[in-house]
Amino acid sequence: MVTIYDVAKLAGVSAATVSRVVNGRSSVDAGLAARVQQAMAELDYRPNAVARNLRRQKTSIWAVIISDIGNPFFTSLVRGVEDVGQAAGYSVVLCNSDEDPAKEARYVAAALAEQMAGVIISSTGKAANLSRLVDAGTPVVAIDREVRAAAVDTVLVDNAHGADLATSHLAEQGYRRIACITGPRRLPTAQRRLQGYRAALTAYRLEPDDNLVRYGDYREEGGYQAMASILDSGAAPDAVFAANNLMTVGALECLVDRGITVPAQMGVVGFDDIPWAHLVRPSLSTVVQPTYELGRTAALLLVERIAEPTRPLSTVTLRTELKIRDSSAPREQRFR
């Protein structure tokens, strides 16, 4: 390995001068700088980031800990983070907790041990993991999922409002027995979306019925099972609001398997878009989240938090939007 001393020796200067040239912080005589540059090129010198990190007590890497790499929701979110992070001079690495608090804990430990410059995390719900970061003084931004027990900057979408939009839309289209498949009880997003659903029922004077509500796992399989369970319960829904993208897919699969046509026999609206929603037949109505913006905003907050660790906490809530496609066509269609 070529060290800074090798370069210094070849250029006939001290290691400190090489360091100055490399980091461009302090000014160096142009002639010396040129010699150093040449020596670096000649030796193909690459600064050892580990040594630098040790000395500086921090890295220039951000960790983005996401809860499910298989969920396309995170894809453009990550792009948003990357674009801001790269521009600010950070490398962004992704860690996949897979909705597993233990795996999340491992990545949090790694982020801590490796002295990551900052962490953006979509929490599995275990606040302790987040607190560990905060306590260690690592700049953190929570994304998508608020964590009440930890004091961190947060970027959310208006979950309740989005769910309300979706459910209200179904009500307006003439559906009367609207089911809801929400996420795990422990997750605030799941709770909020359920709240929004209930608010819409109330607004439209539709009777709430617990038989129409299920808690899924935010996975395809869970959506399938929840849908099956609702159908089997005899609750006789005529529409369903599924609180995330993968569960919507699962629910649709169940409907296909049972020979229930959408939207003629069952209206469907999902929360969070899926790629190719328009290719799925019928095309899927969904509550669209500004995923790229979500990532961008989180990254911006992180940059600010790093620059000013004591600034007051902030929570940014982004708007969702209802994208109406075919799966929630007016109920009346059935009778045409």
Partner DNA sequence: CTGTTAGCGCTTTCAA
Partner DNA sequence: TTGAAAGCGCTAACAG
Cβ-defined contacts of 132-137 (< 8 Å, 24+):
132/108, 133/108, 136/112, 137/309
Residue 278, contacted partner among DNA, its own copies, none, CB below 5-8 A by kind: its own copies
State yes or no: residue 279 binds its own copies (CB under 8 A): yes
> Would you state the torsion angle of the CA atoms of residues 151, 154, 159, 161, taken in this order, to the nearest 10 degrees?
100
> Out of 24, 43, 56, 276, which residue is the one contacting DNA (CB under 7 A)?
56
What is the rounded CA–CA span in Å between residue 294 and residue 319? 10
Pick what 5 binds: its own copies, DNA, none; C-beta below 5 to 8 Å, kind-dependent. DNA
CB 293 within 8 A of CB 229: no
Q: How far is CA 33 from the centre of its chain?
A: 44
DSSP 36-81: HHHHHHHHT----HHHHHHHHT--SEEEEEES-TT-THHHHHHHHH
209 vs 253, beta carbon nearer its own copies: 253
Which of 9, 37, 47, 188 touches DNA by CB under 7 A? 47
- Tell whether residue 112 is a contact of DNA (CB under 7 A): no
- 21 alpha-carbon distance from chain centroid: 39
Note whether 131 binds its own copies by CB under 8 A: no
Query: Rule CB under 7 A: is residue 48 a binding residue for DNA?
Result: yes
Question: Out of its own copies, DNA, none, which partner does residue 23 contact, by CB within 5 to 8 A per kind?
Answer: DNA
Q: Residue 281 binds what, of DNA, its own copies, none (CB under 5 to 8 Å, by partner type)?
A: its own copies
Work out which of 15, 32, 43, 94 binds its own copies, going by CB under 8 A: 94
Non-local (6+) Cβ contacts of 159 within 8 A are 188, 189, 192, 193, 196, 271, 320
Residues 174 and 206: beta-carbon distance below 8 Å: no
CB of 117 to DNA, least distance (A): 14
Determine which residue in the list 3, 37, 53, 211 makes contact with its own copies, applying CB under 8 A: 53
Q: Check the CA dihedral 22-24-25-31 and report its sign.
A: positive
- Which residues are within 8 A (CB) of 187 and not within 5 positions of it... i.e. 6 or more apart? 125, 145, 218
Shorter beta-carbon distance to DNA: residue 29 or 42: 29
Q: Which stretch binds DNA (CB under 7 A): 49-57, 126-134, 220-228, 317-325?
A: 49-57
**Complex with DNA: residue 70 or 137, whichever CB lies closer:** 137
The residues that touch DNA, with contacts defined as CB under 7 A, are 1, 3-5, 12-20, 22-23, 25-29, 31-33, 45, 47-48, 51-52, 54-57
The residues that touch its own copies, with contacts defined as CB under 8 A, are 1, 46-51, 53-54, 57, 59, 61, 63, 69-70, 72, 75-76, 78-79, 82, 86, 91-96, 98, 103, 106-107, 109-110, 112-115, 136, 249, 252-253, 256, 274-276, 278-281
